[in-house]
Structure 1
Amino acid sequence: MLCVSTPEELRVIAQLAPISGLLTELGERFTGSGYQIALVGGPVRDALLGRVGSTPDLDFTTDARPEAIIKVIEGLATAIWDVGIAFGTVGARIQGQECEITTYRTEHYDRDSRKPAVDFGDTLEGDLGRRDFTVNAFALRLPQMQLVDLFDGATDLENYLLRTPGRAQDSFDDDPLRIMRAARFVSQLGFRVSDDVLQAMHEQAERITIVSAERVREEFMKILMAADPRTGLELLVDTGVTDWILP
């Protein structure tokens, strides 16, 4: 496993200092119960970018199954909700922060279904490998606060480049909504897409029709509300995606 260099690790820890107590206690709870847990995705990415808000969205991943997650956080969480439990996600309010804790998983769309199929996994490596882009495939192991980067996302983050952990074609085929997310990150964060992501967006554009209109609309609205909506919209037009999502 490749661990990111110490300066980047220290940057993340410094950015997340206001919630370090929560991270430590949650980590100790899970490891004390025999499970692994890590902070993943956007919060770690934003910490590396130095743009963590006062109330960041906190996403965690663990090898504990949903029922075990609930048992571990009982007494620590002031509220628990299980609306996403079928997809492996337990929501909770812990120390005033809203958290989502999700069992390691893989997710994909069947050819004739608008709902993703979810399979639980057993390793952090497998979970990170199914993430949409390398810049969202970071993990901060808890409670040791060890930063993990398996796909050289730190370099992509430095270059503001969107790449997928595996083949872009496979990634977009598994979850076509990632096509919309690519455009959103271009608009929100100023990223550019890699050549293979651009090609996959072209070739998989029609695949977006398998995703529910509500989920597509949500991503489209996020693009419109972003700092630079034009660049994301131009990407959707240039790749032919708008031919399938707009009347």
Structure 2
Amino acid sequence: MTRVLVTDDDGLMRAGLIELLTADPTIEIVGEASTGREAVDRARRLSPDVVLMDVRMPDLDGIGATRELTRTAPEVKVLVLTTFEQDDYIFGALRAGASGFLLKRARPEDLIAAVHVVGAGESLLSPSVTRRVIDRMAQQPTPELADQAKLDTLTPRERETLELIARGLSNREIAAVLVVEESTIRTHVKRVLMKLGLRDRVQAVIFAYETGINRSR
């Protein structure tokens, strides 16, 4: 079972999300919250696998709540729900430690799949949204995660892997580009994250664009 806490300040949205997710017998709704502060408090008490997190909320917004959960309850994964076009806070949420994000207008099956992906400890880089994130990040790089010195710790193949992650490629796609087994790429990805001190692939994408590694060739 994947245990989920649903957070949104819109009561109808919360009810709809809960109804949608409970249609999957392998998802258990352990609670709900209408503010970021409630989400943090209830996540600490209920220990869900995943917190569905709205961004714009009273009291404490989704970015602040995600940052606090990442610091105090790192085992709890956060999946941010956003309208994206109107929500310029998405990058702040990812830097705060969110494991992924999804558009609120996503198909029900995509939301259910996203919950399982994040609950399994993976990050969610939905291709349809990731491309837009990459485009915007390439135009507006910021130095928060950037550390050029860390790049020197990567082997040439690990650096190539990071560049391909930054382009939004999956492990299978990276393996095809580099003509190696997918299991080899999984190892490379783990080493890249460990050496750079990054939480997941989402932060790897941010790091790549903030250091300019994607434009190094």
| TM > 0.5 | no
User: TM-score per shorter chain, which class?
Assistant: 0.3 to 0.5
Higher share in helix: 2
Higher strand share: 1
